[in-house]
Amino acid sequence: MSEAGEKLRLDKWLWFARFFKTRSLSATRVAAGDVRVNGNRVTKRATTIQTGDVLTFVIGDNLRVIEVIAIGTRRGPAPEAQALYNDMSPEPTPRETHVPENPRFEGKGRPTKRDRRQADLSRARHLE
């Protein structure tokens, strides 16, 4: 960990904290304007952050709200990375599950000829 009052580049910190797999990926996301620091949209990769700053960004379908607790000195293992921040993200909304039309065939391998015939019949009935 580091001393209080130190600053670090935003893209480097996001990489240290293991939010992005590579530093260039984190730099690209910052440059695209996908990250907010203390509510302000940031597009400069070299924006400096310090402890107490709040970062807001989206990864996949999840909104992440992160408070910076510490500035790291390296990209260490996951437990070390998790000690760098406090996660204040809202709970993700549950995703809807898709119920297949033919419950016997769940996308595991190729359907049998009988399964294909039944699927064709159900589609033909649906079009009528």
The CA distance from 67 to 50, in Å, is 10
pLDDT tens across 33-46, in order? Answer: 999 999 999 999 99
Phi, psi of 40 (to 5 degrees): -100, 130
Class of domain 8-87: alpha beta
pLDDT tens across 46-72, in order? Answer: 999 999 999 999 998 889 999 999 998
The answer to whether 69 touches 84, Cβ cutoff 8 Å, is yes
Domain ranges within the chain, ordered by starting residue: 8-87, 100-128
Q: What per-residue confidence (pLDDT) applies to 98?
A: 61
The CA distance from 27 to 119, in Å, is 47
pLDDT tens across 8-38, in order? Answer: 999 999 999 999 999 999 999 999 999 999 9
Q: How far is CA 55 from the centre of its chain?
A: 13
Threshold 0.75, pTM exceeds = no
pLDDT at 1 over 60: no
The answer to whether 7 touches 71, Cβ cutoff 8 Å, is yes
